Structures are given as C-alpha cells and as structure tokens.
C-alpha cells in the first residue's frame, strides 16, 4: 500500500509526522503532489492554538504542486490532466450561496457540509479526520474535491516563484478591494511578505506612486525593488510627516498589512479626503481599534474596507509571476526540505537570520539552505 506522509498538529503545542493511505478518487476529485509550501505566520498561530479551530489539523495553505491523479469528470470539466502544475485556493466555497453567486466566495456562507462541516479552509480548519485526511500543504499530497478552486500554473514559473501565488493573491485581493487604478497613490503599511507583494500588485494595477512604511530596513529595501518609490522607516522618522512630504494631500489608498491595531488606527491619517483605507492584516481575535469618527472618517468621507483571503486574486497573481521581471524569488530567504518542517517553523517564530519568507520543498528530505 502506498502511504502519504504529512505533518499533523494533533492538539495545540504539538506537531508530528503521520502516515495516511493514498486516497481513492471519485470522478470529480483530484490529488495534488505538493512541491512547495510556504510557511505563514498563520501556521504558527495554529500550532499555538490561537485560532479557535478544531484539531487534529494538517497545516499549510500556501501550497503548489502537480496533479498526481485526477478523476475523469474533473479532468473533463477542469481541462486538466496528470502532471499539470497547479495552485489550489485555500477556501473550498460552496458555489451556491448568495455570496458565492455574487462572486464574493471568500465570504461563502455555507457551513453545513458533509465534506468539511467544521470548516472549509485548507491548512486551517478542516479536521484531519475528515476523509481522506489530506487537507493541508505540509504533506506529500493534498486532496481536492469538486468544489476546490484549482488554477493551472504555466511551465515557465519555477516552483519557488510559484509558491508565492497564494500570498500574492491575498495582496491582489487587498489592492482590488481598494480599487487601485492607473495613477493612484498608494501607501502600504507593513513590509512583511504580504506588504511587499501588495506593492508589486498595486504597481501591476497601475499605481502611480507607491510608498511603504515599516521598521525593518532590509525589508524596506526589498520593497523598493518590488516597485515602491519610497520607503519610510518609522523608527527614524515621523511617518505622518514623511507621507505628507511625499503626498501633500494624502494617498488615494492606504493598505494596512501588518495586522497591528496601532497601525490600523494610524492608517486613516495617511489617506486623502475621500480616499480608501483597506485593513488587510489580521490583528488577532477581538482586538479593538479606535478612530475619531468626525475628524478621521465623517468629515473626510473615508471608506474603510476589510480584505479577507484571496478571492479573484489567483488569476492576476499567476499572470504577474509569469510575466513580470521583478525578482520575486528574493522574498524567499529560507529554503527547507520536508524533514525540516519543525526547524522551518522555529526559524520563522524566532525570526532567525532575517527570515522573510520560508518555503518548504516537500519533495526532498532535509536540505535547509
Ligand atoms: Zn498565509
Ligand atoms: Zn457559498
């Protein structure tokens, strides 16, 4: 019998390697052999038990791979076949509820489903005991049922570059929620992987001026190579004054990606009157933020919008990664083999050696480098 190795979090605080049997596929299913999975801060929150989800779980939602097996109906409907390279969206939407029908499938309202009653997000909240148990990217294989959103990846994309499809899709969601268009000025708060990719996505949508704020100079320098015109290190200068100097009327759009309450509160001070603020960073459960309603919002008619997951973002992300000359690989500072998953997580947790993005090559053993 062929078995599949996967890392499972049986309960908060622990992770171990488990073996699953190779699943049988129905005609509408497919199986992805994972090649790369990106380590996300969310994975650490899962390990720490911060998200209030049911365990056991297999983490990993930033995965790409090749089709190892595909049912006949799935192959016909999707136009895919064995060996095709694919990215799979994190959310399994129902395709039928009001939100799905409006195209906001990231807000899918159907909870009551047999395949994953406790949740529908790969690597986040689908319990590992839901058959066939392959619901996360820290695994040699991931199962994709009929409702999965599977995107073909062109051959010219290296696996490393392809591993950025999901975070770049999240960035495109935020940029498109803001309605960034040609000539717009954009301030991005937070030079983490999502913030840096948000700069690239805003540029791809035609942003005229892109400015990024943050504290770590090495990351701010990467932002400039991702297309930012200016970076503001808030450790050394006053962010408000610095934005004012670059954009006297304020930015058309401000996108907060750091997930810090104080930064989200500050974001309304960088935007012009009538502008848009997108809050894309998760601050943690039940974290309040405070605005001065009249001065900050009402008198200036500021639109404040949330951005959740990546709906509509995979297509432009794959397009940009395959057509752009930007050196996106630069974001991946740390590479690991499959045996190194615990090491990768600890490096990300401890921010080892300036780690920006850590990516695991699930097809090799231990090869940290
Ligand atoms: Zn992520
Ligand atoms: Zn739905």
CA of residue 137 to ligand 1 center, whole Å: 11
CA of residue 138 to ligand 2 center, whole Å: 26
The answer to whether residue 267 is domain-embedded is yes
CA of residue 132 to ligand 1 center, whole Å: 23
Identify whether residues 277 and 227 lie together within a single domain: yes
The answer to whether residue 366 is domain-embedded is no
pLDDT value for 128: 92
User: Is the distance from CB of 108 to CB of 91 less than 8 angstroms?
Assistant: yes
pLDDT value for 367: 53
CA of residue 309 to ligand 1 center, whole Å: 9
Cis peptide before 56 (omega within 30 of 0): yes
Rounded-to-5 percentages of helix, strand, coil across the chain: 30, 25, 45
Identify whether residues 242 and 289 lie together within a single domain: yes
In total, how many domains does the chain have?
2
CA of residue 97 to ligand 2 center, whole Å: 4
Decide: pTM greater than 0.85. yes
Q: Which ligand is nearest to the CA of 103?
A: 2
The answer to whether residue 134 is domain-embedded is yes
Q: Which ligand is nearest to the CA of 282?
A: 1
At 168 the three-state DSSP class reads helix
pLDDT value for 366: 65
Q: Residue 259: left (phi > 0), alpha (psi -120 to 50), or beta? A: left
Identify whether residues 126 and 41 lie together within a single domain: yes
Identify whether residues 226 and 147 lie together within a single domain: no
CA of residue 111 to ligand 2 center, whole Å: 9
CA of residue 290 to ligand 1 center, whole Å: 26
Q: Check residue 22 and report its DSSP letter.
A: P
User: Is the distance from CB of 148 to CB of 87 less than 8 angstroms?
Assistant: no
Identify whether residues 92 and 16 lie together within a single domain: yes
Q: How far is CA 351 from CA 41, 333, 367, in A?
A: 11, 11, 19
pLDDT means per 10 residues in the chain (369 residues)? 93 96 96 98 94 92 98 98 98 93 92 58 93 97 97 97 98 98 98 98 98 97 98 97 98 97 96 98 90 95 97 98 97 97 95 92 76
Identify whether residues 301 and 186 lie together within a single domain: yes
CA of residue 58 to ligand 1 center, whole Å: 14
CA of residue 63 to ligand 1 center, whole Å: 10
pLDDT value for 118: 59
pLDDT value for 39: 98
Task: Spell out where 208-302 has E strands.
Answer: 209-214, 230-233, 251-256, 271-279
The answer to whether residue 115 is domain-embedded is yes
Q: Residue 200 belongs to a domain with what CATH number?
A: 3.40.50.720
Closest-CA residue to 167 (of 305, 323, 9, 280): 280
The answer to whether residue 320 is domain-embedded is no
The answer to whether residue 314 is domain-embedded is no
CA of residue 150 to ligand 2 center, whole Å: 16
Q: Which ligand is nearest to the CA of 101?
A: 2
The answer to whether residue 117 is domain-embedded is yes
Identify whether residues 39 and 85 lie together within a single domain: yes
pLDDT value for 115: 47
Q: Which ligand is nearest to the CA of 97?
A: 2
Q: How far is CA 172 from CA 161, 199, 245, in A?
A: 16, 10, 27
Identify whether residues 280 and 200 lie together within a single domain: yes
Q: Residue 64 belongs to a domain with what CATH number?
A: 3.90.180.10
CA of residue 92 to ligand 1 center, whole Å: 15
CA distance 212 to 233: 9
Identify whether residues 135 and 171 lie together within a single domain: no
Angle at 225 between CA 223 and CA 230, to 5 degrees: 55
For residue 43, the enclosing domain spans 3-153+327-361
pLDDT value for 116: 44
Q: Which ligand is nearest to the CA of 171?
A: 1
Identify whether residues 298 and 206 lie together within a single domain: yes
Identify whether residues 117 and 252 lie together within a single domain: no
Angle at 316 between CA 314 and CA 320, to 5 degrees: 115
The answer to whether residue 43 is domain-embedded is yes
Dihedral sign from CA coordinates of 239, 242, 244, 250: negative
CA of residue 38 to ligand 1 center, whole Å: 8
pLDDT value for 353: 81
Q: Which ligand is nearest to the CA of 197?
A: 1
Identify whether residues 20 and 144 lie together within a single domain: yes
CA distance 254 to 179: 11
């Amino acid at each position: 019998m062929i078995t599949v190795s996967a890392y499972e979090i049986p309960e908060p605080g622990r992770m171990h390697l488990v073996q699953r049997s190779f699943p049988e596929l129905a005609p509408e299913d497919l199986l992805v052999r994972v090649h790369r999975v990106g380590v996300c801060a969310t994975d650490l929150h899962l390990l720490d038990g911060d998200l209030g989800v049911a365990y056991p779980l297999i983490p990993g939602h930033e995965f790409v791979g090749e089709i190892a097996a595909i049912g006949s109906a799935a192959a016909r409907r999707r136009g895919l076949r064995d060996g095709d390279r694919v990215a799979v969206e994190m959310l399994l939407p129902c395709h039928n509820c009001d939100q799905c029908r409006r195209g906001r499938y990231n807000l899918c309202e159907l909870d009551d489903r047999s395949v994953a009653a406790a949740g529908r997000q790969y690597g986040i909240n689908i319990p590992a005991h839901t058959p066939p148990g392959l619901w996360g990217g820290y695994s040699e294989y991931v199962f994709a049922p009929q409702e999965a959103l599977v995107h073909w990846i062109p051959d010219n994309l290296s696996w490393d570059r392809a591993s950025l499809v999901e975070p770049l899709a999240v960035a495109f969601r935020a940029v498109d929620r803001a309605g960034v268009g040609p000539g717009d000025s954009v301030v991005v708060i937070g030079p983490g992987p999502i913030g840096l990719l948000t700069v690239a996505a805003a540029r791809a949508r035609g942003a005229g001026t892109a400015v990024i704020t943050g504290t770590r100079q090495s990351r701010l320098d990467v932002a400039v190579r991702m297309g930012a015109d200016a970076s503001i290190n808030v450790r050394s200068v006053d962010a408000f004054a610095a934005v004012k100097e670059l954009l006297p009327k304020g930015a058309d759009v401000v996108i907060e990606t750091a997930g810090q309450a104080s930064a989200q509160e500050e974001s309304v001070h960088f935007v012009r009157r009538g502008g848009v603020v997108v809050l894309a960073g998760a601050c943690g459960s039940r974290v309040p933020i405070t605005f001065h309603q009249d001065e900050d919002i009402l008198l200036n008619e500021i639109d404040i919008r949330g951005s959740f997951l990546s709906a509509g973002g995979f297509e432009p992300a794959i397009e940009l990664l395959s057509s752009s000359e930007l050196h996106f690989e630069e974001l991946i500072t740390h590479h690991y083999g499959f045996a190194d998953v615990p090491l990768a997580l600890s490096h990300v947790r401890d921010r080892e050696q300036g780690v920006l993005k850590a990516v695991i090559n699930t097809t090799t053993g231990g090869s940290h480098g």
